[in-house]
């Protein structure tokens, strides 16, 4: 039931890697982007849609699913795959990030986090052991270790304290593993180079199945994010998958792939879609803009995808203006198709040694 | 560009007819149910979904589309089919019903209706000529005549006045037709048998391409609706399609088919779906009900459809409880699949002379 990472090719001019993650629910070609299905659903689209778009791995949330419907319920129903009708692989985050951003009255101690559910105010105790246990109950392919993820901006002192706690929790996460459960470690350390180095060296000393760079996307501006990624990614073990959590814009993903990152997740394509913002090779467009009111073609002739090709821009605009739920759905399908194609072209560019051409193609996206 | 009705078979024990409506956008097998796409979209689902569900004809609304995005815009974009990416046939109502139920400060005169748009308060003048012209601009396969549709309950006096005005407008609707534009007439007369008879005789004296029974569903209880349908449908010309507007529940449709009706439209399956009410052969079920919380199978093993078969009842319940938009979509797909199968089984039962068995099968639906 564990996962295995296979390295297929390296980009000759950058640190980009072309790989394959073998999971109990099929092969995941990397570099890979995971759509975010927070509550066991990628908002507005079904598992059949995600499958049709060619995705092989999606992300869901331990925090949300443990509160509703409850990991015990999902477990009794045969696991998250069966529950949401998804045949591909699933990675869950540990809940640490959501506890910090959503839960009320949280108290972090060396033992774990005690917080009030944002749904009904009930008190919940999340420890590394419990987080790993919940993810085992969900039956996912990749579990993430519980870490402490301080929000940006964060002083050096607080960043270091969160990192030390993350290090303290790392072995407890591993010890709690069920047989064959794949768990990824998470490197913290904020924007401080020496802390990141220390965190890499501590976290990678444990036998995790993969390694993530955490605490990067939480409101951090690009000029701080890029150096952290460039510096941290190459320090991670070459033989295991590297995952940059919560990133990001197309240009952020291109940058991180070039630094050697294999896995990504982000709410951007789906959240932007719900706010009528569509990714195209020519840049993001506002689907509600009057310029599309009588536009019979696509928003961008170079960004046309099977799932939405039959609908002219004017129609999608009309759906948003008329507050029709189909608008958010079509925009979501569009943006996920855009990200899916980008990842496929990234993999191709690494194999064909045409990285520079790819970067040029996506320079306005 | 007109439509042609072909009668294929008759039920030996009831008035039910098996037919085929030939339209510029393909053949429509009758009896047929039209999903309602009020604003050029069946709420939460795309034209690709409607197509996959096997529907050949859908209904859209002159009133809504003429206000937003405007029939001139749709016309410049190549018509409603192209606008909404729908390859099948489209019927539009005339706007009369929506003016009475949605518009503000309406004033009906023999000339037409003057009202304020419910969107921006602007004054709109809807006459029979204008309604037919709008529907021609939309480029639909079947246009409906503008009628006056009084809300239930309605006195005999008001019902008769609305009927007389409808009769007055009938020839004006026909005179306004574009070349080849198919227009259906509408019979009024409320719950009054003699008025219905008079209306049938007046409306059918004009060369409409089909005939509708109007003013039936507007809040009318079943015990008043059934006699009107039973009495009126058989009076309509045998060689043209008969359409019962705004109906209805499965049992209402079965009753009306047996009375000789060929076409139906109703918001019930889609609106019920958005209120988590799912049609099954065992009756309607509330998808939010706690009984489904850990139900790994379908809501009803006899009501399983390809579009939603992969999702257990517990998942669909979770989506509604968690306020996820996918819940309304899956419920809509389910209900439209249920109605689609019912219509297909109705057609089969007429052909195979097994009407009674069909009625028994749907007795709890």
Confidence tier at A75 by pLDDT (50, 70, 90): very high
Residue-wise pLDDT for A238-247, tens only, equals: 999 999 999 9
Within 10 angstroms of residue B123's Cβ, the number of other Cβ atoms is 9
Distance of CA B306 to the CA centre of its chain: 24
Q: Would you say domain A4-98+124-265 falls under CATH 3.20.20.105?
A: yes
DSSP of B140-157, one letter per residue?
Answer: -SEEEPP---PPSS--HH
Residue B1 pLDDT: 52
Q: How far apart are CA A294 and CA A300, in angstroms?
A: 14
Residue-wise pLDDT for B23-39, tens only, equals: 999 999 999 999 999 99
Residue B112 pLDDT: 96
Q: Is pLDDT of B129 > 60?
A: yes
Residue-wise pLDDT for A309-321, tens only, equals: 999 999 999 999 9
Q: Is pLDDT of A219 > 70?
A: no
- Positions of A marked catalytic: 93, 265
Sign of CA dihedral A318, A319, A321, A324: positive
Is residue B151 within 8 A of residue B218, CB to CB? The reply is yes
From the CA atom positions of chain A, what is the Rg in Å? 20
Minimal-distance CA residue of chain A relative to B42: A326
Confidence tier at A150 by pLDDT (50, 70, 90): confident
Instruction: Tell me which DSSP letter residue B57 carries.
Output: E
For chain A, domain boundaries: 4-98+124-265, 267-365
Q: Is pLDDT of B45 > 70?
A: yes
Q: Is pLDDT of A137 > 70?
A: yes
Residue B84, chain A, CB below 8 Å: the answer is yes
- Write the CA distances from B25 to B45, B141, B211, B230, B303, integer angstroms: 20, 7, 20, 31, 30
Is residue B316 within 8 A of residue B333, CB to CB? The reply is no
Q: Is B212 helix (H, G, I), strand (E, B) or coil?
A: strand
Query: What percentage of residues in chain A have a pLDDT greater than 90?
Result: 91
Nearest partner of A184 among A219, A216, A214, A149, judged by Cα: A214
Residue A267 pLDDT: 96
Task: Name chain B contacts of A310, Cβ cutoff 8 Å.
Answer: 47-48, 85
Q: Which residues pair with B34 in a beta bridge?
A: B265
ipTM score over 0.85, yes or no: yes
Q: Is pLDDT of B219 > 70?
A: no
Residue A51, chain B, CB below 8 Å: the answer is no
Residue-wise pLDDT for B62-89, tens only, equals: 999 999 999 999 999 999 999 999 999 9
Q: Is pLDDT of A218 > 70?
A: no
Residue B103 pLDDT: 82
Cβ pair A315:B40 closer than 8 A = yes
Q: Is pLDDT of B196 > 90?
A: yes
Residue A55 pLDDT: 98
Residue A103 pLDDT: 82
Task: Name chain A contacts of B312, Cβ cutoff 8 Å.
Answer: 77, 82-83, 85
Residue A48, chain B, CB below 8 Å: the answer is yes
| Pick among A315, A317, A329, A337 to test the B interface (most B CBs inside 10 A) | A315
Task: Name chain B contacts of A296, Cβ cutoff 8 Å.
Answer: 77-78, 82
Task: Name chain B contacts of A48, Cβ cutoff 8 Å.
Answer: 310
How are beta strands B113-116 and B123-126 bridged, if at all? antiparallel
Residue B365, chain A, CB below 8 Å: the answer is no
Confidence tier at A99 by pLDDT (50, 70, 90): confident
Confidence tier at A87 by pLDDT (50, 70, 90): very high
Buried b (16+ CB within 10 A) or exposed e, A137-154: bbbbbbbbbbbbbbebeb
Residue B151 pLDDT: 80
Query: What percentage of residues in chain A have a pLDDT greater than 70?
Result: 99
**Stretch B317-325: mean pLDDT:** 98
Q: Would you say domain B4-266 falls under CATH 3.40.190.10?
A: no
């Amino acid at each position: 039931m564990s996962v295995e990472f296979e390295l297929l090719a390296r980009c000759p001019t950058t640190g980009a890697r072309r790989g394959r993650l073998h999971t109990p629910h099929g092969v995941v070609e990397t570099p890979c982007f995971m759509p975010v299905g927070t509550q066991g659903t990628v908002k507005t689209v079904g598992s059949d849609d995600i499958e049709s778009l060619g995705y092989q791995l999606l992300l869901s949330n331990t925090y949300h699913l443990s509160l509703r419907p409850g990991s015990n319920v999902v477990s009794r129903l045969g696991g998250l795959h069966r529950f949401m009708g998804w045949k591909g692989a699933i990675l869950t985050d540990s809940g640490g990030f959501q506890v910090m951003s959503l839960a009320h009255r949280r108290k972090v101690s060396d033992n774990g986090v005690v917080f009030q559910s944002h749904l009904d105010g009930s008190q919940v105790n999340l420890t590394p052991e419990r987080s790993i246990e919940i993810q085992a109950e969900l039956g996912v392919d990749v579990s993430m270790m519980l870490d402490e993820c301080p929000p940006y901006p964060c002083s050096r002192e607080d960043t270091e304290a969160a990192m030390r706690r993350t290090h303290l929790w790392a072995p407890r996460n591993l010890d709690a593993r069920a047989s064959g459960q794949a768990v990824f470690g998470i490197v913290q350390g904020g924007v401080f180079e020496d802390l990141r180095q220390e965190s890499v060296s501590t976290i990678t000393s444990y036998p995790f199945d993969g390694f993530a760079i955490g605490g990067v996307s939480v409101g951090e501006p690009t000029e701080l994010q890029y150096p952290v990624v460039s510096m941290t990614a190459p320090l991670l073990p070459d033989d295991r998958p590297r995952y940059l959590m919560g990133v990001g814009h197309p240009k952020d993903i291109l940058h991180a792939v070039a630094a050697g990152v294999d896995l990504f997740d982000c709410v951007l394509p789906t959240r932007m879609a719900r706010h009528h913002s569509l990714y195209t090779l020519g840049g993001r467009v506002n689907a509600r803009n009057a310029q599309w009111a009588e536009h019979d073609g696509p928003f961008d002739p170079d960004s046309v995808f099977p799932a939405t090709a039959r609908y002219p821009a004017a129609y999608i605009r009309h759906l948003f203006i008329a507050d029709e739920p189909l608008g958010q759905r079509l925009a979501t399908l569009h943006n996920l198709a855009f990200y899916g194609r980008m990842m496929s072209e990234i993999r191709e560019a690494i194999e064909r040694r045409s990285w520079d051409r790819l970067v040029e193609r996506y320079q306005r996206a």
